[in-house]
Amino acid sequence: MSFYQYMQKKETCDTGKNEIRKSNEYLRKILTIEQLYDKMGVRRCWEAIAMVLNESLSIEQKLEILAESAKFDVACTSSGMQREGKQGELGNSIAAGICHSFSADGRCISLLKVLFTNECIFDCKYCINRSSNDVPRASFTPRELCELTIGFYKRNYIEGLFLSSGILHTPDYTMELICETLRMLREEYHFRGYIHCKAIPGANPMLIEYAGWYADRMSVNLELPTNEGLRRLAPNKTRKNILGPMRQIQNGIGESRQLLGMKGGNHSAYYFTKKAAGQAGIAERFQKSALLGCTEEKKKESVLAEHQPRKDSGGVRIEKTTDVVKKEPAGGLSLLESIGRPTGRGFAAAGQSTQMIIGATPETDYQLVSVAEALYQKFDLKRVFYSAFVKVNEDSLLPDLPGGPPLLREHRLYQADWLMRYYGFSAGELLTEKRPNFNAVLDPKCDWAVHHMELFPVEVLQADYFLLLRVPGIGPKSAKRIVEARRSGVLSFEDLKKVGVVLKRAQYFITCNGKTLGRLHLDESYVTQSLMLNEKLPKNLRDALYGRQMSLFELAAFSLVAG
Amino acid sequence: MEKKYIYRCEDSVEGILTGIYEAWASVHSHEENCIEVRGAGWEMPLLFAEYTEVVPDAEKSEKVQRSIRLRISEEAYEMVMKAILSGDPEKGEVIYRFLIYAYREGARACRSYGNPWAMRLFELVRNYDNESHHLKGFLRFDEQENGLLLARYAPKNNVMGDLMAHFSDRLNGEDFIVLDEKRRLAGIHKRNTIWFLYRLSEEEYRSFSEGYKGEDSYGALWKIFHQKIAIAERENLRLQRNNLPLRFRPYMTEFRNETPA
C-alpha cells in the first residue's frame, strides 16, 4: 500500500489518532469558533482551532512543522550500536554511526529528527513551542511516523528515528504515544535501524523503562546547567524530574549489561579513556603534576552531583543528586520484570546522552565543563551536547545576543568535551575558578599547553600514548599511528605530517629523533604569540567573535591584551 | 638515460596482480620495472621504454594473492585489494613498490608510515575507506516499479563491493540495484537471496538509464525535512561543503533541482 493510500484509509488501531479525532468531532459538533472564543478566551480558542486544523493537515505540512520544531535538538548521532540485519526484518545498525546528509548550517543529518507533537503544556522561556507562543501546531500519529521512518529508511535518507516531543496533555500521555510509536516500529514494521528517544521529564518510570527496551539510545535534556537557571527559564521542569529518569536509565543500562553481556550496552568513551589512562603509569603521573592547583578534594566538590550550595560561587546552587535518587526509588529495571520484555536489543544499549543550552543563563565555562564532567562520571553518559542559544522568543528573562548565537563558545566547549572524553583531561586542568572562561583565540589544549611549558618538549619517538595526546596538534589517531610506526623505524617531521600531526601547532612542543623543526623556544609568551598567529578560526566563528574580519596584526595585538 | 620496462595491465584484480607477477618474474631489476594500469590516466613519461601488454591470468593472480597472505599478512592482503579498487592512477606502481618493501619487512610494513610506498598505499586505502563510508550515508535509492529500489552514483574509487555487502544486510528483504555510472557497473540484490555484480554493455546501460523513473513521493517529503531542519541563524554553507563535498550532490535527492553553487 502506498503512503498516500494509507493516508486515506485511516487505521483505527491508533490511539493517538483516535484521541485527536474524537476531540475534533466533539469540537465540530458542539461549538462554533465564536462560542469557543467566549468559553475559553483567546488562547484556548486558538488551540481548538489548531486541533481542527491539525486533522486537515497533510503529512507534508505536519513534517514541515514538526521538523522545524525539532531543529534545536542537537544530538543527531547514530553511533554506539552494532546490530546485523536479519531475514524478515528491515535494517541494521553500525557502531560508528553514519551521516546521511548535512543541512545548510553544516550540521550532520543522521536520523529523522522530529517531534511527535509540538503542542506543549510547558512554558519554557527559550523554546519556540512554549505554550504561550502563537505558532502552528501539529501532531503525528504513531502510524504516520512509522510509515515516514520506514519510507525514509528504505531510500537510505536516514539511519533511523530520533523522536522527541512537546508535552501533550500530560507527560504520561505523551510518553505513552512515544512508546506506542516505538513498539509499532519494532514489532509491526520489524525495524532494526537506530532509534533515539527522549524521556519526557515527569513521565512514569514504567513508561520510561518501556521505551528503553525499544530504543537504542535515550536522552533526557538537562536544558540548563544550574537549578537556578532551570527555575527562571523552564519553570515547569525541575532538576529532580530530569536527573531522576537519567539515573533510572543509567541503572537500567547497567542491569541490562549484567543480564545480557556486552549486547546490553557499553560504557562511555569517558570511562574507557579514564581506565586506559589509569593503566598508563606515565600519563597518570603526568596528569597529577599537571593539575592546575586542583586537589582531588576540591575537584570532587565542584562536581555536579555532589555540588554543595556554595556561597562563594555567585549563588549558583545545584541540589544533590543523591537526594533526588533517594526520593526516586524507581532506579533501573527489575530483573524479574524484564522477563517477557523484548530484551533482544538490550536496554538503551547505545547509552544515553543529554544537552545543555549555552548562553541563555550566566554560567561560566568552568561551571559548564564541571557539570559535563560530573555527568560523565556520575551518570556514565555517552555524550553531552551543547547548544548555542538562539533567541527565538522575545522575553525579558532572556539575554540579548547582538552578536548572534555564541557559536565560538559552543565550539570551545565541544573541544573541551573531546579533551575530557578521549584525551584524559579533567575539567580542573582546562579551567579554574580563577580563570573561568576559555581563551577566545587559543583552543583549550593549546591554552593548557602554553601554561605548562615546563613539561615540554616531548620526544615523539619515545613518549607514551597519553603523553603524546597532551601535545597540541596530536590527536588519538595520529598518536596511535606514531606508536605503531616507530616500532619499525625512525620517523621524520615529514612523516609526522603525513600520519596527521598538525605541525603548525605541534612544532613548539616536540622533538623528533632529538631534532626540532626550526628553533625551539620554550617561552610561554613567545609560543602563545606564535600559536595565535597560526590559529585560523573558521570564518563564521571569527566573525562572531570580532563582528568583522580582523587582520593578523590586530589579532596579535588583541591576543596580547586578552592572553 | 636508463631504459624502463613497462607492464601495462587491465584495471582489475587479475590484471594488476598478473602484471606484478610478470614484473617480478622478469630478468630486469625492480628499479627498471614499472606497472601501469590501462585507462587509469597515468603514464610514465619516458622516451626509452619497452611496453609489455599484460594478459590477465587467474592462476598468476591467485599465486600473488596467496603469497601476500602467507608471507606478509592478512592485513597487507586487504590493503592491497582495496588499493586495486582505488581510483588513483598510480595504484599499480604503488602496490608493486609496496610489495617489494613488504616482502623484505614482513607484517609490520603495513604500519611503517616512514616508508614512502607504505605511506602511499596507506593513503590510497584511507581514501577508499573514507569514500566507502561516506557513500553508505550519501547513496540515495528511488523506488521504481514493483518496489525495486535504484541508486545511481559515480564514485572515485570502486567501492561497490563494500556498499553491496552493507546494503544487502540492511535491506535484505528488498530488491535493489546500485548503479556505478562511471564504470557502468551494476550491483544487483535479489530479495532474501544473494547479490552479484554485473558489467553493463553500452546498450544495456542506455536502456537502463531510459527506464529510470526519477524520484518518488518520499523525495518531496525528504526535501521538506532537509530544508526545515537547518537553523537559519547558524547558516554555514562552507561547513556544509566540507562535510558533504559537491561531487556527491548531483545524485542526492535533497540537492536535485538546485542550481550548482
Residue A310 has pLDDT above 60, yes or no: no
**Span of A30-34, A502-506, B30-34 with lowest mean pLDDT:** A30-34
Q: Is B77 on the interface with A (CB under 8 A)?
A: no
Question: Using CB atoms within 10 A of its CB, is residue A253 exposed (0-12), middle (13-18) or buried (19+)?
Answer: buried
Q: What is the pTM of this model?
A: 0.81
Q: Give me the domain span that covers residue A541.
A: 444-562
Q: Would you say residue A38 lies in a domain?
A: no
Q: Would you say residue A26 lies in a domain?
A: no
| pLDDT computed for residue B108 by the predictor | 87
**Span of A16-20, A371-375, B92-96, B99-103 with lowest mean pLDDT:** A16-20
Q: Are residues B48 and B123 in the same domain?
A: yes
| pLDDT computed for residue A528 by the predictor | 83
Q: Would you say residue A27 lies in a domain?
A: no
End-to-end Cα separation, chain A, in angstroms: 65
A28: number of Cβ within 10 Å = 11
Residue A33 has pLDDT above 70, yes or no: no
Q: Are residues B37 and B49 in the same domain?
A: yes
Share of residues in chain A with pLDDT > 90 (%):
34
Residue A281 has pLDDT above 80, yes or no: no
| pLDDT computed for residue A279 by the predictor | 54
Do the chains contact at B239 and A484, CB–CB below 8 Å?
A: no
| pLDDT computed for residue A5 by the predictor | 42
Out of B114, B141, B220, the one facing A489 most closely (by C-beta) is B114
| pLDDT computed for residue A54 by the predictor | 55
Cell of A129: 513551542
Residue B154 has pLDDT above 70, yes or no: yes
Q: Which long-range contacts (CB under 8 A, 24 or more apart) does A264-269 make?
A: A264/A346, A264/A347, A264/A349, A265/A346, A265/A347, A265/A348, A265/A349, A265/A350, A265/A351, A266/A80, A266/A349, A266/A351, A267/A380, A268/A351, A268/A376, A268/A380, A268/A381, A268/A382, A268/A383, A268/A421, A269/A382, A269/A421, A269/A422
Residue A482 has pLDDT above 80, yes or no: yes
**Average per-residue pLDDT for chain B:** 89
**Span of B31-35, B116-120, B224-228 with lowest mean pLDDT:** B31-35
| pLDDT computed for residue A542 by the predictor | 58
Give me the mean pLDDT over the A180-192 stretch.
Answer: 92
Q: Would you say residue B134 lies in a domain?
A: no
Q: Is A279 on the interface with B (CB under 8 A)?
A: no
**Span of A21-30, A193-202, A457-466 with lowest mean pLDDT:** A21-30
| pLDDT computed for residue A52 by the predictor | 53
B residues 119..178 contacting A (CB < 8 A): 119, 123, 133, 136-143, 149, 151, 167, 169-174
Residue A539 has pLDDT above 80, yes or no: no
Q: Would you say residue A252 lies in a domain?
A: no
Q: Are residues B115 and B20 in the same domain?
A: yes
Do the chains contact at B136 and A98, CB–CB below 8 Å?
A: yes
Instruction: Encode burial over A47-63: b for 16+ CB neighbours within 10 A, e otherwise.
Output: ebebbbebeebebeebb
| pLDDT computed for residue B179 by the predictor | 93
| pLDDT computed for residue B251 by the predictor | 92
Q: Which residue has the higher pLDDT, A115 or A309?
A: A115
Q: Are residues B101 and B204 in the same domain?
A: no
Share of residues in chain B with pLDDT > 70 (%):
95
Q: Using one digit for the tens of pLDDT, what is the confidence trace for A4-30?
A: 343 344 343 344 444 444 444 433 433
Q: Given B82, B99, B128, which residue is the final one in a domain?
A: B128
CB-defined contacts A:B, below 8 A: 176
**Span of A366-380, A401-415, B246-260 with lowest mean pLDDT:** B246-260
How many domains does the structure of chain B reveal? 3
Residue A291 has pLDDT above 50, yes or no: no
Q: Are residues B210 and B231 in the same domain?
A: no
Q: Are residues B155 and B186 in the same domain?
A: yes
Spatial separation of the C-alpha atoms in residues A535 and A525, rounded to whole Å = 15
Q: Using one digit for the tens of pLDDT, what is the confidence trace for A35-51?
A: 444 544 434 444 454 55
Q: Would you say residue B133 lies in a domain?
A: no
**Average per-residue pLDDT for chain A:** 77
Q: Would you say residue B51 lies in a domain?
A: yes
Q: How far is CA B170 from CA A89, A343, A464, in A?
A: 9, 21, 40
Spatial separation of the C-alpha atoms in residues B160 and B178, rounded to whole Å = 8
Out of B114, B229, B252, the one facing A71 most closely (by C-beta) is B229
Q: Would you say residue B62 lies in a domain?
A: yes
Q: Are residues B122 and B9 in the same domain?
A: yes
Q: Is A104 on the interface with B (CB under 8 A)?
A: yes
Share of residues in chain A with pLDDT > 70 (%):
73
| pLDDT computed for residue B42 by the predictor | 66
- Residue A305: pLDDT band (50, 70, 90) is very low
| pLDDT computed for residue B206 by the predictor | 87
Give me the mean pLDDT over the B112-129 stretch.
Answer: 92
Q: Using one digit for the tens of pLDDT, what is the confidence trace for B31-56?
A: 888 898 887 666 666 667 888 899 99
Q: Give me the domain span that covers residue B231.
A: 217-261
| pLDDT computed for residue A149 by the predictor | 96
Q: Given B63, B93, B128, which residue is the final one in a domain?
A: B128
Q: Would you say residue A52 lies in a domain?
A: no
Give me the mean pLDDT over the A57-75 stretch.
Answer: 89
Q: Are residues B47 and B111 in the same domain?
A: yes
Of A49, A47, A9, which is closest to residue A28 (Cα–Cα)?
A: A49
ipTM over 0.85: yes
Q: Would you say residue B258 lies in a domain?
A: yes
| pLDDT computed for residue A340 by the predictor | 53
Q: Using one digit for the tens of pLDDT, what is the confidence trace for A329-344?
A: 345 554 445 445 666 7
Q: Are residues B17 and B66 in the same domain?
A: yes
Most confident of A15-19, A154-158, A245-249, B8-12: A154-158
Out of B172, B174, B222, the one facing A152 most closely (by C-beta) is B222
> Could you tell me how many residues make up chain B?
261
**Span of A291-295, A425-429, A553-557, B3-7 with lowest mean pLDDT:** A291-295
Write out chain B residues lying below 8 Å of A79, CB-based: none
Of A67, A73, A386, which is closest to residue A224 (Cα–Cα)?
A: A386
Q: Which residue has the higher pLDDT, B4 or A314?
A: B4
Q: Given B70, B98, B128, which residue is the final one in a domain?
A: B128
Which residue in A has a C-alpha nearest to residue B227's C-alpha? A103
Q: Would you say residue A530 lies in a domain?
A: yes
Q: Would you say residue A375 lies in a domain?
A: no
Nearest C-alpha of chain A: how many angstroms from B30? 23
Spatial separation of the C-alpha atoms in residues A351 and A334, rounded to whole Å = 18
Q: Are residues B95 and B159 in the same domain?
A: no
Q: Would you say residue A468 lies in a domain?
A: yes
Of B181, B177, B193, which is closest to residue B142 (Cα–Cα)?
A: B177
Q: Are residues B9 and B107 in the same domain?
A: yes
Q: Are residues B192 and B247 in the same domain?
A: no
Spatial separation of the C-alpha atoms in residues B204 and A444, rounded to whole Å = 57
How many domains does the structure of chain A reveal? 1
| pLDDT computed for residue A550 by the predictor | 46
Spatial separation of the C-alpha atoms in residues A140 and A186, rounded to whole Å = 18
Give me the mean pLDDT over the A299-322 stretch.
Answer: 37
- Residue A328: pLDDT band (50, 70, 90) is very low
Which residue spans within B91-175 are E strands per DSSP?
141-143, 149-153
- Residue B204: pLDDT band (50, 70, 90) is confident
